[in-house]
């Protein structure tokens, strides 16, 4: 596969997503709301596919494969701070199938996404919207060198 980065000591392969991955990626991402402690709006696969296609064209989506199946992903957008010309990369989604959810797999995806930020000379902002297991997520990001810079609050979700 072109663009494949083999990871040593692992059955997992981290790659940049391609358009040919969209259908399988959407089928993985529709699992995300079911695990969340949040009331998400109904999932529209066509809307999701159009959005993801745009991110893929900018090389802003990574996939984690095991045995030729997508088991994890992270993707996002480069945007400006609302008050500045400076840009940042922020994640729109970050998901690993429950049975594949390990520190090493999360680290591969997050640090791979950080490499995209570094290549674009922008900071990386990662967040979660599922409101589950926040202490564990805080520890993961702290261990990877991130600092906590706020939180999210919602009403009606």
**What percent of the chain is modeled with pLDDT above 90?**
66
Average confidence (pLDDT) over 119-146? 85
Which positions ≥6 away from 143 have C-beta within 8 Å? 103
More confident residue, 16 or 157: 16
What is the arrangement of strands in the sheet containing 87-96, beginning at the earlier edge strand?
A: 4-6, 12-16, 61-66, 69-80, 87-96, 124-125
Percentage of residues in the chain having pLDDT higher than 70? 85
Query: Confidence class of residue 2 from pLDDT cuts 50, 70 and 90?
Result: very low
């Amino acid at each position: 596969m072109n663009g494949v980065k083999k990871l040593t000591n692992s059955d997992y392969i981290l790659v940049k997503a391609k358009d040919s991955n969209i259908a399988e990626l959407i089928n993985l991402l529709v699992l995300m709301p079911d695990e969340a402690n949040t009331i998400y709006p109904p999932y529209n696969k066509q809307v999701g596919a159009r959005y993801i296609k745009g991110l893929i064209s900018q090389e802003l989506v990574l996939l984690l494969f095991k045995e030729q199946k997508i088991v994890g992903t992270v993707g996002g957008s480069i945007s400006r701070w609302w008050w500045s010309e400076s840009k940042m990369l922020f994640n729109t989604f970050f998901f690993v199938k429950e049975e594949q959810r390990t520190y090493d797999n999360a680290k591969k995806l997050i640090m791979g996404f950080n490499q995209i930020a570094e290549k674009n000379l922008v900071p990386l902002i990662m967040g979660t919207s599922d409101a589950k297991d926040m202490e564990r997520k805080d520890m993961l990001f702290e261990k990877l060198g991130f600092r906590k810079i706020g939180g999210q609050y919602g009403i009606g979700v």
